[in-house]
Amino acid sequence: MPDRVRIAIDAMGGDFGVETTVSGCALFAQKHPEVELLLFGDEGKLQAEVGKFPALEDVSRIVHAEVSIGMGDKPSQAIRNGRKTSSMWKAIDAVKQGEADFGVSAGNTGALMAMSKVILRTLASVQRPALAGVWPNLRGEAIVLDLGASIGADAQHLVDLAIMGAAMGSIVLKRDVPTVGLLNVGVEEIKGIEEVKAAARILRGIESSHLKYHGFVEGDDIGAGTVDVVVTEGFTGNIALKTAEGTARQIGQYLRTELRSSLMSRIGYLFAHKAFGALRQKMDPRRSNGAVFLGLDGIVVKSHGGTDGLGFSGAIEIGYAMVRNGLQTKIRETLTEAHEIRMTLEPPGVA
């Protein structure tokens, strides 16, 4: 654990700009006055905003960046226009240079992923990075990955996802040995694509002190909270995430419409408003804001672009927990351990 955690913030990212990111940083700094925040972005704008929060002023340093990556910029465009000059690039590069322990951005996902890959590179044995999120469920929370960092996965990549997700799960969920499920379909005859079946065979062989393989899980197991870590490739993961978000919005809308539909229901709402407040809080996406890029040689957290200060501070919290609890070391250890077990199971040249 580093003495003083240093955090690189892309202060220009997100739908609402510096006002949101700086207020998020201020909330975070209030709770963690021992950290150091490096704020990358337009110096003038940042000075004006940071000046509003003395507690943040004490623990932060502004680093000017001329360029801001637009929310609609294509990744290739972002790298072309923002290489070395943009707040996003500079924030990630601070992680690479060892000036910060992790980076946070609410900027556009594609650009952040592309820049992170270019600057930080993947860990030696990991093919591609993954995007992992914290998903609330009926038993608490779970880690779900890949939420869309890459498309398609062979068995080895699914196993890497399981290992990295379990490392993150052990920290976020405070579990010694998180349970891991492979997302699959339940129709018997076609139970799973070959890659998923092959990953299951490998995971069954890994008797790790860092993860416990549960077996296949289906889509409805995500909400039920059947396992601590749900593993799938990025296309399906992204669609599962957005389908769940859409369903939550749909039910919320039904509920609002029905509760406004008559005088009686309006009165009922008044009586039960605390219950609805609690429900709203449970479904508040800010509570689980902050997805982590796993498999890179450095930690980068992606905050939702449309979140507010509270949500942004939550994304910083996620990265902070990762660093404090040695995420990268855990990932490296489990990858090595799993690799050794595979070598025993399938010595090279034998398969």
Residue 118 as a binder of its own copies (CB under 8 A): the answer is no
Among 70, 215, 219, 285, binds its own copies (CB under 8 A): 219
Q: Name every residue whose Cβ is closer than 8 Å to that of residue 199 and which is 6 or more positions away in sequence.
A: 155, 156, 158, 159, 162, 182, 231
Among 15, 246, 343, 345, binds its own copies (CB under 8 A): 246
- Mark residues 17-56: x for contact with its own copies by CB under 8 A, - for none: ----------------------------------------
CA pair distance 37, 120, nearest whole angstrom? 20
Helix spans in the chain (H): 18-31, 43-50, 54-59, 75-82, 87-96, 109-120, 155-172, 194-205, 219-224, 234-259, 263-271, 273-282, 309-324, 327-345
Residue 218 as a binder of its own copies (CB under 8 A): the answer is yes
**End-to-end Cα, the chain, rounded Å:** 40
Among 30, 97, 250, 329, binds its own copies (CB under 8 A): 250
Residue 238 as a binder of its own copies (CB under 8 A): the answer is yes
- Order of strands, sheet of 36-41, starting from the edge strand that comes earlier in the sequence: 60-64, 36-41, 6-10, 102-105, 299-302, 291-294, 130-137, 140-145, 229-231, 179-183, 212-217
Residue 74 as a binder of its own copies (CB under 8 A): the answer is yes
Residue 328 as a binder of its own copies (CB under 8 A): the answer is no
Residue 76 as a binder of its own copies (CB under 8 A): the answer is yes
Nearer to its own copies, 93 or 146 (CB): 146
Residue 258 as a binder of its own copies (CB under 8 A): the answer is yes
Among 13, 14, 103, 110, binds its own copies (CB under 8 A): 110
Residue 192 as a binder of its own copies (CB under 8 A): the answer is yes
Task: Give me the phi and psi of 271, to 5 degrees please.
Answer: -65, -40
Among 23, 116, 122, 150, binds its own copies (CB under 8 A): 150
In the complex, least distance from residue 106 CB atom to its own copies, rounded to whole angstroms: 15
Among 9, 18, 67, 113, binds its own copies (CB under 8 A): 113
SS3 content of the chain, % helix, strand, coil (to 5): 50, 15, 30
Among 51, 268, 336, 340, binds its own copies (CB under 8 A): 268
Closest CA to 42 of 72, 12, 82: 12
Asked whether 218 and 249 are in contact (CB, 8 A), the reply is no
Nearer to its own copies, 173 or 283 (CB): 283
CA pair distance 50, 339, nearest whole angstrom? 47
Nearer to its own copies, 31 or 273 (CB): 273
Amino acid at 326: G
Residue 241 as a binder of its own copies (CB under 8 A): the answer is yes
- Tokens 């739908």, located at residue: 15
In the complex, least distance from residue 171 CB atom to its own copies, rounded to whole angstroms: 24
Among 57, 235, 324, 326, binds its own copies (CB under 8 A): 235
CA pair distance 234, 123, nearest whole angstrom? 18
Stretch that binds its own copies, among 44-52, 205-213, 279-287, 309-317 (CB under 8 A): 279-287
Stretch that binds its own copies, among 4-12, 22-30, 70-78, 342-350 (CB under 8 A): 70-78
Nearer to its own copies, 28 or 293 (CB): 293
CA pair distance 272, 269, nearest whole angstrom? 5
